[in-house]
Amino acid sequence: MRADRLVAALLFLQTRQRVTAAELAAELDVSERTARRDLEALASAGVPVYSQAGQGGGWSLVGGARTDLTGLTAPEIRALFLLTGADSAAPNQETRTALRKLVRALPSPLREGAEAAARAGVADGAGVADGADWTGADTGEPLLAPVQRAVVERRELRIGYARPGRDPHERTVRPLGIAAKAGARYLVADTDRGLRTFRIGRVTSVAETGAPVVRPEGFDLAAVWRTLAARMEDRLVAATVRGRAAPGTEQILEGLLDGRIRYGERTPDGWTAIEADGPSPEVIAARLAGLGARVELHEPPEARAALARVGAELAALYGPPPAP
What pLDDT sits at residue 67? 40
Q: Would you say 160 and 204 are in contact if contact means Cβ atoms under 8 Å apart? A: yes
Q: Is residue 266 helix, strand or coil?
A: strand
Task: Encode 231-240: b = buried (16+ Cβ within 10 Å), e = exposed.
Answer: ebeeebeebb
Q: How many CB atoms lie within 10 A of CB 138?
A: 16
Burial level of 193, CB count in 10 A (0-12/13-18/19+)? exposed
The HSE-up count of residue 196 (CA atoms within 13 Å, CB side) is 14
Q: Taking Cα atoms as reference points, which of 186, 185, 187, 184 lies closest to residue 174?
A: 187
Examine residue 107 and say whether the peptide bond preceding it is cis (omega within 30 degrees of 0).
no
What pLDDT sits at residue 60? 82
pLDDT at 83 over 60: no
- What is the 8-class DSSP label of residue 167? -
pLDDT at 91 over 60: no
Question: What mean pLDDT do residues 241-269 have?
Answer: 88
C-alpha dihedral sign at 145, 151, 153, 157: positive
Q: Which of 126-140, 225-239, 297-311 is predicted with the least confidence, judged by mean pLDDT?
A: 126-140
Higher-confidence position of 58 and 98: 58
**Domains of the chain, earliest start first:** 3-73+92-106 (1.10.10.10), 144-226 (2.30.30), 239-318 (3.30.70.120)
Q: Taking Cα atoms as reference points, which of 250, 252, 245 lies closest to residue 269?
A: 245
Which ranges of the chain does DSSP label H, i.e. alpha helix?
3-14, 21-28, 32-44, 74-82, 93-105, 108-118, 144-153, 221-236, 250-256, 281-288, 301-318
pLDDT at 128 over 70: no
Write phi, then psi, for 209 (nearest 5 degrees). -90, -15
pLDDT at 94 over 80: no
Chain Cα centroid distance, residue 212: 25
Q: Band of the pLDDT at 188, cuts 50, 70, 90?
A: very high
**Would the pTM of this model clear 0.85, i.e. be above it?**
no
